């Protein structure tokens, strides 16, 4: 008699409290499932589970990853532990195809959305720093390659990050970032308000923590304390539903672009922390913010570098649906 394979399914239940009300379904589960399953669980894996019919909201199967949760709702997840284990870390493997620039002193990488820039409290969770270091170590055929980190992107932001490969470059790179000698350009998709913004504008204020929601710090403008923050904005494209905005932060505060755009009534699509978890009539798979360009003088040679990260497919796909092009 043939043996029947047993599938390790774990039923996990959540009751949504007030702190998590308004969050997207996929964002909530990507945060909560790792502790419940003992496995790293990426947002891509969560969306696959939702699409496969493994998640129930108030007793009904829900297949909308961007569904906003309400206080008091009940979630039930049928988690296949074997598949989660096999998929751990695999969705964010960094290869040479992610490298945008490299020489003896620097390496610039196109970071996928959903991948933390640096190690987190969960030692098993994939992150860009460790992945890039492992790639360089494999290239030298043994031993541990050196990698220096000088700036970061939010986990859900995609785009270009530059690391130092040699300690020789560290002092000049640290000085360039501290003195705002590196020009950073981001692209963001935003909901269109009733009144279209001007072609160019800027926001300058002090930012600090104004609240905490579901264990996450929420930043905003504060009258005293906080850190000075300035972002210059340009409107690149517009439709009747959404805008493509270029953001050039002159400072590097946590969530700076997200906070400044939300304060202008232009929350970034996919941002469940600052007011646009969904919108424009399309499914938004993640935060629509992309680090598009870094412009800097090479810390050793002095040559001007312009390192560009092309738009990823998920970003360009949403843009095409709501703006065109």
Low-confidence ranges of the chain (pLDDT < 70): 1-8, 39-40, 81-93, 120-125, 142, 214-215, 276-280, 325
- 218-227 CB contacts, 8 Å cutoff, 24+ apart: 218/273, 218/274, 219/253, 219/254, 219/255, 219/256, 219/259, 220/259, 220/263, 221/259, 221/263, 227/251, 227/253
Q: Which residues of 111-131 are buried (b: 16+ CB within 10 A; e: fewer)?
A: bbbbbbbeeeeeeebbbbbbb
User: Per the residue annotation, which of 82, 103, 130, 154 is the catalytic one?
Assistant: 154
> What is residue 11's predicted lDDT score, i.e. its pLDDT?
87
84 and 96 assigned to the same domain: no
296 and 315 assigned to the same domain: yes
| % pLDDT > 70, the chain | 88
Residue 304 corresponds to which tokens in the numbers above?
Answer: 């001007």
Are 132 and 145 within 8 A, CB to CB?
no
Sheet holding 55-57, edge to edge: 9-15, 74-80, 55-57, 60-61
243-255 confidence digits (pLDDT tens): 999 999 999 899 9
Active site residue 240: no
256 and 307 assigned to the same domain: yes
Give the count of beta carbons closer than 10 Å to the beta carbon of residue 165: 18
Residue 66 belongs to some domain of the structure: yes
Phi, psi dihedrals of residue 150, rounded to the nearest 5°? -125, -15
> What is residue 286's predicted lDDT score, i.e. its pLDDT?
87
> What is residue 121's predicted lDDT score, i.e. its pLDDT?
64
The residue out of 60, 88, 116 marking a domain boundary is 88
42 and 99 assigned to the same domain: no
C-alpha of 22 from chain center:
19
Helix (H), strand (E) at residue 25: helix 25-37
- CB within 8 Å of 285: residues ≥ 6 apart: 47, 65, 66, 270, 314, 318
> What is residue 7's predicted lDDT score, i.e. its pLDDT?
47
Are 156 and 289 within 8 A, CB to CB?
yes
CA–CA gap between residue 318 and residue 18 (Å, rounded): 30
Count each helix (H run) and each strand (E run) in the chain, helices first: 7, 15
- With vertex at residue 208, the alpha carbon angle to CA 202 and CA 212, rounded to the nearest 5 degrees, is 120
Query: Is-above-0.95 flag for pTM?
Result: no
Question: 299: closest CA among 209, 201, 176?
Answer: 176
Residue 1 belongs to some domain of the structure: no
Residue 142 belongs to some domain of the structure: yes
Task: Indicate the number of domains in the chain.
Answer: 2
**Domain membership of residue 253 as a residue range:** 91-322
Residue 197 belongs to some domain of the structure: yes
Residue 46 belongs to some domain of the structure: yes
Residue 3 belongs to some domain of the structure: no
> What is residue 4's predicted lDDT score, i.e. its pLDDT?
42
SS3 96: helix
Which residues partner with 189 through β-bridges? 244
């Amino acid at each position: 008699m043939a043996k029947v394979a047993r599938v390790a399914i774990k039923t996990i239940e959540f009751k949504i409290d007030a702190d998590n009300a308004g969050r997207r379904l996929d964002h909530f589960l990507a945060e909560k499932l790792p502790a419940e399953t003992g496995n790293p669980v990426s947002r891509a894996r969560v969306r696959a589970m939702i699409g496969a019919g493994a998640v129930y909201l108030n007793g009904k199967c829900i297949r909308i990853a961007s569904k906003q949760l309400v206080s008091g709702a009940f979630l039930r997840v049928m988690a296949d532990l074997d598949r989660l284990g096999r998929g751990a870390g695999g969705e964010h493997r960094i290869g040479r195809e992610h490298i945008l620039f490299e020489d003896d002193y620097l390496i610039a990488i196109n970071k996928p959305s959903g991948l933390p820039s640096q190690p987190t409290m969960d030692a098993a969770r994939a992150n860009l720093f460790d992945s890039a270091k492992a790639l360089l170590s494999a290239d030298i055929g043994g031993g541990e390659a050196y990698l220096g980190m000088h700036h970061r992107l939010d986990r859900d932001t995609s785009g270009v990050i530059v690391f130092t490969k040699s300690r020789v470059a560290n002092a000049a790179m640290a000085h360039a970032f501290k003195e705002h000698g590196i020009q950073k350009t981001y692209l963001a998709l935003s909901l269109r308000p009733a009144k279209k913004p001007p072609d160019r504008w800027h926001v300058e204020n002090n930012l600090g923590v104004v609240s905490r929601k579901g264990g996450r710090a929420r930043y905003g403008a504060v009258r005293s304390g906080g850190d000075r923050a300035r972002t210059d904005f340009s409107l690149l494209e517009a439709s009747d539903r959404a805008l493509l905005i270029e953001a050039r932060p002159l400072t590097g505060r946590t969530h700076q672009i997200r906070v400044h755009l939300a304060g202008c009534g232009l929350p970034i699509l996919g941002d469940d922390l600052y007011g646009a978890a969904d919108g424009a009539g399309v499914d938004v798979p993640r935060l629509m913010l992309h680090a598009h360009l870094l412009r800097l003088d090479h810390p050793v040679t002095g040559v001007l570098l312009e390192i560009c990260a092309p738009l990823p497919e998920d970003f360009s796909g949403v843009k095409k649906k709501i703006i065109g092009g």
